[in-house]
Amino acid sequence: MGRFGRVLTAMVTPFTDEGALDIDGAARLAQWLTDHGNEGLVVAGTTGESPTLTHAEQADLVAAVADAVDVPVVAGAGSNDTRAAIDLTERCTAAGADGILHVAGYYNRPSQAGLDSHFRHCAEATDLPTLIYDIPGRTGRKVATETLARLAHEVPNIVGLKDAAGSPAETARLLEMAPDGFEVYSGDDSLTLPLLSIGAVGIIGVATHWAGRQMAAMFDAFESGRVAEAAAINRSLFDSYDFETGDDAPNPVPTKCMMRVLGLPAGPCRLPMGPEPVGLEDRAREVLTALGAG
């Protein structure tokens, strides 16, 4: 098991109908998630709409969730502005986070040298264990395997990777190069089982909002050597993987819809995410029914 648990959810950030931060709703959602298969939470990450949150809102959100649950809380503190990421790191550390998650700088597509320097400066701003989030489909720049391995060896509190780069073979090469104790968490729900096969320790998921127990069962089966059972559970989650994002309803729009269907705090997404397409709630109910949860 990874230091933050096996099954973590990149939690959506509840807002009121008017778009204000719903702190009480966030605490209630966090408690529900930990009651339904989650062993840790990532708060104020990009699924939590961090680009639309103020730094004060992010710190308040982290503090509220950390106070509400007894599982590790990893705070998203990423930015494509290193000074902003350092400020967020310091605020989230003070707010009671157990770890920090830093996404690679998005849009500006920094060089590998720039990424290396960015992550070093951010890690120096805290004594908390830090994960790097590599998601080139969103950021426009892959964090090179050599860059990740160098940081893992040279920066003591860079302890792992949230991997959404889509290449389990390259991740296997990273694990061969990285020091003992460096941990990989799947950042792509549909690739979690392949990543487990090459040494990943957990998932920071999206479908785990409503399928945390199923994901935990998949981990249990795989870890016990029941690979066929793990594969069958993974197949049962295909509809959930398909539902969680798409061109007409990108993540986290579908997840917020699913939370409302389940009677949980969510509210709308802040623009520019949205609006929610017609029929999405019906699709959410179909996904739940297929899981035996609707």
**pLDDT tens-digit readout, 219-275:** 999 999 999 999 999 999 999 999 999 999 999 999 999 999 999 999 999 999 988
In whole angstroms, give the CA distance from residue 294 to residue 287. Answer: 8
Retrieve residue 288's tokens.
Answer: 């739940």
CB-hemisphere CA count at 13 Å for 71? 23
In whole angstroms, give the CA distance from residue 151 to residue 118. Answer: 11
Non-local (6+) Cβ contacts of 112 within 8 A are: 143, 144, 146, 147
Q: Are 41 and 110 in contact (CB under 8 A)?
A: no
pLDDT under 50: residue ranges of the chain: 294
Q: Are 192 and 216 in contact (CB under 8 A)?
A: no
pLDDT of res. 293: 61
State the catalytic residue, choosing from 133, 142, 241, 256: 133
Name the pTM for this structure.
0.96
AA letter at 280? L
Retrieve residue 165's tokens.
Answer: 């780069």
Residue with tokens 């991997």: 163
pLDDT of res. 292: 84
Q: Are 160 and 182 in contact (CB under 8 A)?
A: yes
Whether 162 is a known active-site residue: answer: yes
pLDDT of res. 209: 98
Q: What angle do CA 26, 32, 36 make, to 5 degrees?
A: 140
pLDDT of res. 274: 80
State the catalytic residue, choosing from 106, 107, 142, 162: 162
Q: What are phi and psi of 224, to 5 degrees?
A: -90, 5
Cis peptide, bond prior to residue 272, ω within 30 of zero? yes
Whether 142 is a known active-site residue: answer: no
DSSP the chain: --TT-SEEEE----B-TTS-B-HHHHHHHHHHHHHTT-SEEEESSTTTTGGGS-HHHHHHHHHHHHHH-SS-EEEE---SSHHHHHHHHHHHHHTT-SEEEEEPPPSS---HHHHHHHHHHHHHT-SS-EEEEE-HHHHS----HHHHHHHHHH-TTEEEEEE-SS-HHHHHHHHHHSPTT-EEEESSGGGHHHHHHTT--EEEESTHHHHHHHHHHHHHHHHTT-HHHHHHHHHHTHHHHHHT--SSS-TTHHHHHHHHHTT-S--PPPTTS-PPPTTHHHHHHHHHHHTT--
